[in-house]
Structure 1
Amino acid sequence: MQVTETLAEGLKREIKVVIPKRDMEAQLNVRLADAKDKVRINGFRPGKVPIAHLKKMYGKSIMADLVNEIVRERPTEILTDRGEKSATQPSVAMTEDENEAEKILNAEVDFEFTLSYEVIPDIELQSTDGLSVVREVVEVTEDEVNEQIEKIAESARTFETKSGKAADGDRVTMNYLGKVDGVAFDGGTAEDAELVLGSGRFIPGFEDQLVGVKAGEDKTITVTFPAEYPAANLAGKEATFDVTVKEVAAPAALEINDELASKLGIESVDRLKEIVRGQIESQYGSVTRQKVKRQILDQLDGMYQFDTPQGLVDAEFENIWRQINTDLQQSGKTFEDEETTEEDARVEYRKLAERRVRLGLVLSEIGEQAGVEVTEEEMQRALYAQLQQFPGQQKEILDFFRNTPGASASLRAPIFEEKVVDKLLSEIKVTDKVVTKEELMAEDEEGSESAEKPAKKKAAPKKAAKAEAADEAAEGEEAAAPKKKAAPKKKAAEDSAE
């Protein structure tokens, strides 16, 4: 096999590979000899089929398998011999001439193909002695824990039927039929729908008009759907709802005690408080972690500047750009609405893609030299977390990860990078700073803007804008979440009135 480098320009490489026809024919003959004792052909005893006859019948198909095997396996061997790592799967180019291909299958000419790829650049790691971060810490107060428990108790509050008029805080059970321009619309009908007045679950004005109703009363409510309502056929439209009140119930006393904890499956109210405190600390800890990680990434970004493989940058940019356009479409906005243009946005998000790729390569090199590994147990936990996100689709998810090449990398990469960050945190100077929850959250929003986006620019698709090189998914989902929660989904019709 002859290997000749035909291009070495920056990170781009092109390799011409030639396997002489005599070598191809020799490998073909080996496989034909192996097949001789296995095939069964009428007129020949087992193992007595002439090689020439086998070659005539099966030579081309065996040679085709051999060519595919060479194209699949040799690139990895060639890169290993050259001491190179390809940023993406090398591109393989072979002849497209049918006559030439026929000659290759007949072992009449040399088999030639070309590898094109980009190498991962050599990264000389620098000392981490100068790195330092400020870790903001929020001390969870007893009042905050009690406030959260009151919300939990509120959600578990029972109601008792009353005979008087419905007041704010009462629960109304009703049937309703929604209409726009006198015509009922999909999702606008519900039976035995329960609504706590003042909860803000339904669209503005709906709950206010139920204050004062009694059980057995019929009432027509007129409201206007918000202009930004998700259903385009209802957004901004005036609608009427024919409501029949079936029951009015007053809330029972709100008591925080062991009985409440027992209803929630917890042994005592003290244990409930411990759990709630732990949840709050975990939430703050996640924000703190992202801010610390951002500080590390920003400092690494200043320490390392090198050419990035454009194939990786292109792929990262396409992921970002796809999310950008999805977010704009869902919000009904344009780039102009966000005080920018598509051209300028492309430039800025291209820079973001380059930053992510560069920092990803740096973290990978740090982890590799430090011997960071992802265990099978950690991979299994990550897979289980994926399965929990898609109830009822566990089989499809498992099949995807089993049958899709490289799919497991999407589980491994974030685990690996978090372990690299832990490694860095064990080496650099970390200063704890006690802050309020307002300071933690407010500064997080401001920091994310300055870390990843140019100043003086608002970008609606904050999923990509807020995200860091290694943790965009964790931050992004929260950034793009709707500000108003939908009502319980046990009745699909209720969603339209919310």
Structure 2
Amino acid sequence: MQVHLETTGALARRLRVQIPAERIDSAVAKRLKNIASRAKLPGFRPGKAPMKVIEAQYKDSARYEAINDLVRETYPEAVDKVQVQPAGYPQFEITGAEGDGFEYVASFEVYPVIVLDKLSGLQISKPAVEISESDIDKLVDNLRKARRIFKEADRPAANGDSVKVDFEGKLDGEAFAGGKGEDVEFEIGAGQFLPDLENGIVGHAVGETFTVDVAFPADYRAEALKGKTAQFTVTIKEVKEVQLPALDDAEFLAAHGLTPEQGAEALRAKARQALENERNKAVKARLKSQVLDQLLAAHPVEVPASLIEQELPRLREEAAARMNMGKIKADKAKELLPDQLFEATAKRRVALGLLIGEVIKTKNITLDSARVEQALAEMAADYEQPEQVQQFYRSRPDMMQGLRAVVLEDQVVDALAADAAISEVSQTLEQLLNPQAQA
């Protein structure tokens, strides 16, 4: 077998392989012998037809199949012979024949050569965040709001109340589609309806009928209403005010795994722990993002197109899952979520994967099993039955492999951060969890 490697681009390679006649003859003979042992031909018992008859009927197809088998069989041998590492599956082409031999070409990309020569110049900004009493107050208030109830109120409607109304909107005295509703319930201030309508209800009591001018925004979805002002006739049929559970309410405490004896202080302590956990996760994510961003910026990588192509379906599947699109056919998913939506992300993900792999080799990083167990425990702790979650993960090799990959990536980040210049920046919890708040 003769092998010749050609460089056709930065990462593109063309491997030309010539298979000698004797190897093909051997493969064809083996295939014909296999066919002969089971062939059913008129005038002969099964498996008893003479080889000449078998050859006359099956030699061409046997040769075609033998060549295909030889391409798959000899490709790894040829790659090993020229000492290259293909990235992705190759494209094969039968290019010619010499005597009874043949030649094929395998076109593929190779992995880029990566030189990690700028690992020591990373500059990391680490958020320094103290959990304040007001942070705890906000979380406790949110926990109470999550278990709120509404009771009828004998007073005019106020912001935050739940109301039941009938309404009918008219534009220049004419009713319009979608402008009428009966027994419609909503919370004032929750943004379910246009602000003018919600605000116009404030101050009116049950039984009142009144008119409110409602301005539609210029980008409103209904073309006929864009930028227009309509008049809505509204009748209030019910007003309910919100009631939050008391901090020492037994049912409220029980919902958070606490007893009345433990009381509100235990709830606040639990809230503090939850916020500290959230802070720690956010700080870790912020550091990881900076490390990986700077690793990629300092070491631009030529990314094999074949690896990007492999990444696109995974990103599309992840996006479809986030959008609750359910199981849809691959071609339909590609139509709804075309490749160009994910190309930049796919390129970044592949490039980082290559760089992280090189860091692992350069720094001799091995997976820390104790950290895997710790990560599994921390992840499961967010669920009501953590032990069952851990058992479920352990029963799924694919999920455990994903968890190990995350842990190994975290170890890479830690190794790089250990050589980085780190400066602390004071932030509030709100700024950490919602970066837009810094503006």
TM-score range, shorter chain: 0.5 to 0.7
Mapped contact 1:137–1:435 kept (Cα < 8 A): yes
- Is the partner of 2:84 in helix, strand or coil? coil
1:311 aligns with 305
Task: Provide closer, same or farther for how the CA distance between residues 208 and 124 of structure 1 changes in structure 2, counting only shifts above 3 A.
Answer: closer
- Which whole-Å CA distance do the structure 2 matches of 1:37 and 1:234 have between them? 79
- Is the partner of 2:47 in helix, strand or coil? coil
- Which whole-Å CA distance do the structure 1 matches of 2:285 and 2:58 have between them? 60
Structure 1 stretch displaced more, 258-267 or 17-26: 258-267
- Which whole-Å CA distance do the structure 1 matches of 2:21 and 2:428 have between them? 72
- Which whole-Å CA distance do the structure 1 matches of 2:125 and 2:33 have between them? 69
Mapped contact 2:124–2:420 kept (Cα < 8 A): yes
| CA offset digits 1:137-180 (Å, max 9, x no partner) | 31212221111211231242222113432223321023455666
- Which whole-Å CA distance do the structure 1 matches of 2:67 and 2:32 have between them? 15
Task: Provide closer, same or farther for how the CA distance between residues 368 and 65 of structure 1 changes in structure 2, counting only shifts above 3 A.
Answer: farther
The number of equivalent residue pairs is 385
From 160, 174, 197, the counterpart of 2:151: 160
1:292 aligns with 287
- Which whole-Å CA distance do the structure 2 matches of 1:55 and 1:233 have between them? 78
Q: Which amino acid aligns with 2:359?
A: I
Mapped contact 2:196–2:214 kept (Cα < 8 A): yes
From 353, 361, 369, the counterpart of 2:354: 361
Alignment of 1:86 with 2:86, yes or no, is: yes
From 174, 185, 190, the counterpart of 2:177: 185
2:239 aligns with 248
Q: Cα offset for 1:122?
A: 2.5
- Which whole-Å CA distance do the structure 1 matches of 2:106 and 2:353 have between them? 25
The 5 Å alignment of 1:52-451 reads 52-72=52-72, 74-95=74-95, 109-126=100-117, 128=119, 131=122, 133-176=124-167, 182=174, 184-185=176-177, 192-229=183-220, 235-239=226-230, 241=232, 243-252=234-243, 255-259=246-250, 261-262=252-253, 264=255, 266-268=257-259, 269=264, 272-301=267-296, 303-304=298-299, 308-309=302-303, 311=305, 358-368=351-361, 370=364, 372=366, 415=406, 418-424=409-415, 427-428=418-419, 431=422, 433=424, 435-437=426-428, 440-441=431-432
Q: Cα offset for 1:81?
A: 3.7
Task: Provide closer, same or farther for how the CA distance between residues 235 and 139 of structure 1 changes in structure 2, counting only shifts above 3 A.
Answer: farther
- Is the partner of 1:113 in helix, strand or coil? strand
Q: Cα offset for 1:92?
A: 2.5
- Which whole-Å CA distance do the structure 2 matches of 1:296 and 1:171 have between them? 48
Mapped contact 2:12–2:110 kept (Cα < 8 A): yes
- Which whole-Å CA distance do the structure 1 matches of 2:349 and 2:201 have between them? 52
- Which whole-Å CA distance do the structure 2 matches of 1:123 and 1:27 have between them? 41
Q: Which amino acid aligns with 1:141?
A: S
Q: Judging by fraction of residues, say which structure has more strand.
A: 2
Mapped contact 2:366–2:408 kept (Cα < 8 A): no
- Is the partner of 1:49 in helix, strand or coil? coil
- Which whole-Å CA distance do the structure 2 matches of 1:221 and 1:428 have between them? 64
Q: Which amino acid aligns with 2:53?
A: H
| CA offset digits 1:381-430 (Å, max 9, x no partner) | 9xx99xxxxxxxxxxxxxxxxxxxxx99x968973773353452574357
Q: Which amino acid aligns with 1:202?
A: F
Q: Which amino acid aligns with 2:302?
A: T
Q: Cα offset for 1:131?
A: 4.8
2:388 aligns with none
- Which whole-Å CA distance do the structure 1 matches of 2:430 and 2:164 have between them? 42
Q: Cα offset for 1:113?
A: 2.1
- Which whole-Å CA distance do the structure 1 matches of 2:68 and 2:170 have between them? 63
1:403 aligns with none
Mapped contact 1:153–1:260 kept (Cα < 8 A): no
Q: Which amino acid aligns with 1:83?
A: Q
| CA offset digits 1:50-86 (Å, max 9, x no partner) | 3343344444444444444444554444334433222
- Which whole-Å CA distance do the structure 1 matches of 2:285 and 2:135 have between them? 22
- Which whole-Å CA distance do the structure 1 matches of 2:276 and 2:77 have between them? 50
User: Scaled by the length of structure 2, what TM-score is found?
Assistant: 0.68
| CA offset digits 1:295-340 (Å, max 9, x no partner) | 32354346535x6146269769999xx9xxxxxxxxxxxxxxxxxx
| CA offset digits 1:456-481 (Å, max 9, x no partner) | xxxxxxxxxxxxxxxxxxxxxxxxxx
Task: Provide closer, same or farther for how the CA distance between residues 432 and 140 of structure 1 changes in structure 2, counting only shifts above 3 A.
Answer: farther
Q: Cα offset for 1:364?
A: 1.9
- Which whole-Å CA distance do the structure 2 matches of 1:234 and 1:286 have between them? 45
Flag structure 2 segments of 5+ consecutive residues without an equivalent: 317-339, 381-397
| CA offset digits 1:77-113 (Å, max 9, x no partner) | 4334433222343233335xxxx8xxx8xx9753322
Task: Provide closer, same or farther for how the CA distance between residues 209 and 71 of structure 1 changes in structure 2, counting only shifts above 3 A.
Answer: farther
| CA offset digits 1:183-238 (Å, max 9, x no partner) | 5436x665543322233342221211112333344455442333344666765454
Mapped contact 1:206–1:223 kept (Cα < 8 A): yes
Mapped contact 1:312–1:357 kept (Cα < 8 A): no
Q: Give the structure with higher Rg (CA).
A: 2
- Is the partner of 2:105 in helix, strand or coil? strand
Q: Cα offset for 1:20?
A: 3.1
User: Scaled by the length of structure 1, what TM-score is found?
Assistant: 0.61
Name the Cα RMSD after superposition.
4.8
Structure 1 stretch displaced more, 310-319 or 142-151: 310-319
1:459 aligns with none
Alignment of 1:37 with 2:41, yes or no, is: no
Q: Which amino acid aligns with 2:177?
A: F
- Is the partner of 1:206 in helix, strand or coil? helix
- Is the partner of 2:78 in helix, strand or coil? helix
2:335 aligns with none
**Identity level (%):** 28
Mapped contact 1:138–1:440 kept (Cα < 8 A): no
Task: Provide closer, same or farther for how the CA distance between residues 127 and 42 of structure 1 changes in structure 2, counting only shifts above 3 A.
Answer: same
Mapped contact 1:173–1:193 kept (Cα < 8 A): yes
- Which whole-Å CA distance do the structure 2 matches of 1:42 and 1:417 have between them? 64
